[in-house]
Structure 1
Amino acid sequence: MSFTLYADEQMTREAVSPYQLDFNGTGKNEFRLYFGSPYSYETLKPKSDEQIMLIPASRLKKWQPESGYSFGNIVEPTVANGCMYQVTGNGRTSINEPAWSTELNSQCSSGGVIFVNIGAKFQPEDIRLSLTQSGLDKATPGAFLALGGQLQGGKAIPVFIRITNNDNTPRSDRSDPCIIIRLNATTTETIAHSGKL
């Protein structure tokens, strides 16, 4: 799909879709991406919503029995306890779920997989999205960013992003990002065009 987040205003470098947010520590991190399509002959419309929306969403996975895990994978218990746990090596879980501890850096295991508590899990509410830098202060944490009822390609829309680590402990999901920015259900229409792509 051509309509996505880009790292540059010219829309030549795609910012992986869905865009994975790297918290990696305490405090606030602000940056700007660009949403759009480099092709002016493309039009984006929502499928069922009134607006095209960028939505902060969790991609944190629940622990699974009898499953293979790799170093760096991050999960939460099947009954969430507010913490996230990182795999310390490759292995396969047993049928029994670990006895999860909420104590930071505590370890637990299932089968051949050891999990370490790496702190409070990241939430979509840790993200603010805005069309302007100054709008970040007023943006509702975790809220979607409306981009309009229809978008024409060829013009990049700046998207300002603020990530806040609200926990006092440095936390990172760099190995297995837990929060993404996703696009709601949309459809792209293409009109006939001539010339090079």
Structure 2
Amino acid sequence: MAIDFKFWADAGLAGVLTQISSQQLVDGSSAANDFVVYFGAQSASVKAENSTDPGTAQLQVTVASNVADWAAGAVAANQIMKPTVGNGYKYQAQGSGTAVTEPAWPTTIGATVAQDGITYECIDEIHEPAECVLSADSAGLGTNTPGAALDIGVSVTGGVAVPIYLRVDQGAHPFGTYTDIKIVVPDLLQSAI
């Protein structure tokens, strides 16, 4: 069964959310960016539950990185990645090859490091999930814990849009538009009603 539950850009569940794009001012003084997205399925004949304990455990929404971790194996030219142990930066492979050993990542934008015949360039800072707050309403954005999951119930019925409020607090990132994060429901089980 294909998964019908998705994140949507609107309460009518008409437009699938494709990315979260957060902007930062050049002087680093940007206020937090707040978003409202919706979780649901267009069909009212399905429900979503937590796959670890259906009907008992809470479904949880979490923020995850949209940038893949470095991994040993084939690396394509221009591939973007982050270290396996986050350091706040993302890197781009300047050529292709086979990665064996993770490099000692530089933390200066524009700096490069070569490892296993592949040169990686530090291209920018990255938003981490811990810079994001999730809430069931706008008031919780100021009080909920950054990086914490959001419980949305033990069951969500299709045809209903569950609002998810998201705050991305940029901190002192350089000027730019960031698409480094996504929201997910990691233990999603969909079944027919």
Q: TM-score, normalised on structure 2?
A: 0.79
Q: Alpha-carbon deviations, 1:139-194, whole Å to 9, x = none? A: 210111111111111111111111112234336554xx3x3211031322213xxx
Q: Structure 1 residues 86, 23: closer, same or farther in 2, change over 3 A?
A: farther
Distance 1:103 1:52 in 2: 39
Query: Identity of paired residues, percent?
Result: 23
Q: Alpha-carbon deviations, 1:2-56, whole Å to 9, x = none? A: 111111111121124xxx5434535322111111111112122222251111111
Match of 1:185 among 184, 187, 190: 187
The size of the alignment, in residue pairs, is 183
Q: CA deviation at 1:74?
A: 2.4
Match of 1:109 among 92, 97, 114: 114
**Correspondence for 2:14:** 12
1:63 partner amino acid: W
Q: Structure 1 residues 183, 105: closer, same or farther in 2, change over 3 A?
A: same
Q: CA deviation at 1:72?
A: 5.1
Instruction: Answer with 90-99 or 155-164: which moved more.
Output: 90-99
Distance 1:152 1:173 in 2: 32
Q: CA deviation at 1:87?
A: 1.3
Distance 1:184 1:64 in 2: 21
- Secondary structure of the 1:187 match is strand
* Unaligned runs of at least 5 residues, structure 1: 192-197
Distance 2:88 2:66 in 1: 14
- Secondary structure of the 1:104 match is coil
Q: TM-score, normalised on structure 1?
A: 0.77
